Amino acid sequence: MAMQTVGIVGARTMGNGIAQACAVAGFDVVLLDISAAATQKGLARVSSTLDRLVSGGKASEAEPAWTARYPSCNTHCRL
C-alpha cells in the first residue's frame, strides 16, 4: 500500500516547507497548527513560494496540482 497522505504538525518555517514539497510531489497534505491564523499564514507562505517558482521558470503553472487542493482553513487544512 502506497502512502497517499502526509500529516504535518506546525505550519511555520519547516512545516510549510515540508507541506509544499509533499503537495508538489502529489501527496494529499494535512497541515495542522495551534490557530487558524498560524495555519493561514503557513498556507500563504506555501502559495507565495510556489508562485515565485512559477514566475522564475522553475515550475510550470500546469505542473502543481496543489492549486486545486487549497481549501478554506480553520486550525488544519488539507492541501
Question: The domain that contains 17 carries what CATH number?
Answer: 3.40.50.720
Number of structural domains found in the chain: 1
Mind listing the pLDDT tens digit for each residue in 7-28? 888 888 899 899 888 877 778 7
In the block, cell 500563504 appears at 44
Contacts of 50 (CB under 8 A, 6+ apart): 20, 24, 59, 64, 66
Task: Give the Cα separation of 45 and 30 in Å (integer).
Answer: 15
**Which amino acid would we find at residue 31?**
L
Structural domain that includes position 56: 5-78
Task: Characterize 20-32 residue by residue with b for buried, 16 or more Cβ atoms within 10 angstroms of its Cβ, and e for exposed.
Answer: bebbbeebebbbb
pTM equals: 0.71
Note whether 43 and 13 are within 8 A (CB): no
Mind listing the pLDDT tens digit for each residue in 38-77? 888 888 888 888 888 878 887 776 555 555 554 445 455 5
